[in-house]
Amino acid sequence: MRPAPDGPPLEEAVAAGRSGEAQRKAMDRTRVDMMRAYAETSGCRRAFVLGYFGEPFEPPCGACDNCAERPASAADGPAADTPFATGDRVRHQAWGEGTVGRLDGATVTVAFDTVGYRTLALEVVAADPGLLVPA
């Protein structure tokens, strides 16, 4: 098989394809992790799903199984001093740019464009001001 006359050399094209496939697999693994987190959450499921898609929602919804079973608590929503909001674009030192998908009392989950979903402790983010910044 001959490469396209205006395309990259065959070796470069194969390497790029392998890299892209590895990136896709890593992203798929993080999606599975997010669905596991949804199944295991004790917080508002509506807030979780909307956060997954980058949409803000202030729990409780009053309609999901978790909200129906217990009253809302302070841990259901974002920490008051969180510098980010659901849907904000941010940049991580190592993982690049992403969108804040979920905030709870102690963590922030970001859907990074190239590495998938990562959940960071807000305490760690606060301790290193350059770790996660607005994009």
pLDDT digits (tens, 9 = 90+) for 91-123: 999 999 999 988 887 889 999 998 999 999 999
- Give the single-character DSSP code of 3: P
**Cα–Cα distance, 21 to 121 (Å, whole number):** 29
pLDDT digits (tens, 9 = 90+) for 68-85: 987 655 445 555 567 888
- Give the single-character DSSP code of 131: T
Q: Tell me the backbone φ, ψ of residue 118, rounded to 5 degrees.
A: -135, 140
Determine the average pLDDT of the residues in 22-45. 88
**Cα–Cα distance, 21 to 38 (Å, whole number):** 26
The more confident residue out of 8 and 37 is 37
pLDDT at 130: 92
Nearest to 135 by CA among 98, 108, 81, 85: 98
pLDDT at 74: 46
